[in-house]
Amino acid sequence: MIKNVIILEDCNAINYLLSTVLKKDYSITSVKNCADAMTHLQTDLNRDLIILNISDSSSDNFELLEHISTSCVLNDIQRVVISDSKDEKFKSEISKLGASLFITKPFDPVFLSEKVRDLINHSQPSISRKKKFSINMNIF
């Protein structure tokens, strides 16, 4: 089964780089803002991993990470955060929100590709998001 990755990156060059490196192994959806990412997450529940560029804890992307982490439908999506921040407190906050990987810019795209492969290949199987969503809707 083809694995699906969303890339949320507003820098065209980095977005292109990530898409190019990952598209040989995964189905890639590139978005430039949280609203687009949320639309894709809500309309296609077969996402395996999301890569988010987050600069600080006041950004919309940080709020999206929080939303994914607290959502019973989306919380099993692997999360990779790319940031230009080297602040340890910020890294700790990202980790608490379930990010599987935190990478500081500039980064090696081959290293990132290897880590994405490891995360996707070693993720724990769970109830599919479609089934979870169905179960959650039936509760209400």
Residues 6+ positions from 56 with CB-CB distance below 8 Å: 62, 85, 90
Q: Spell out the domains of the chain, with CATH numbers in brackets.
A: 4-139 (3.40.50.2300)
The pLDDT of residue 122 is above 90: no
Instruction: Tell me what percent of the chain is helix, strand and coil, each rounded to the nearest 5.
Output: 45, 20, 35
The pLDDT of residue 127 is above 80: no
- Integer angstrom CA distances of residue 42 from 23, 94, 107: 22, 22, 30
Look at residue 129 in the predicted model and tell me its pLDDT: 46
The per-residue pLDDT of the chain, averaged, comes to 85
The pLDDT of residue 134 is above 50: no
Q: What percent of the chain shows pLDDT beyond 70? A: 87
Look at residue 124 in the predicted model and tell me its pLDDT: 55
Helix (H) or strand (E) holding 29: strand 27-31
60-82: b or e for each residue (b if 16 or more CB lie within 10 Å)? ebbebbebbeeeebbebbbbbbb
Question: Stretch 75-102: mean pLDDT, rounded?
Answer: 92
Round to whole Å and give the CA distance between 7 and 9: 6
Cis status of the peptide bond prior to 109, with omega within 30 of 0: no
Look at residue 59 in the predicted model and tell me its pLDDT: 83
The pLDDT of residue 133 is above 60: no
Long-range contacts of 38-41 (CB under 8 A, 24+ apart): 38/64, 38/67, 40/6, 41/6, 41/68, 41/74, 41/77
Task: Count the Cβ atoms, other than its own, within 10 Å of residue 117.
Answer: 14
Write the pLDDT tens digit of every residue in 28-83: 999 989 999 998 888 877 889 999 999 877 788 989 999 999 998 888 899 999 99
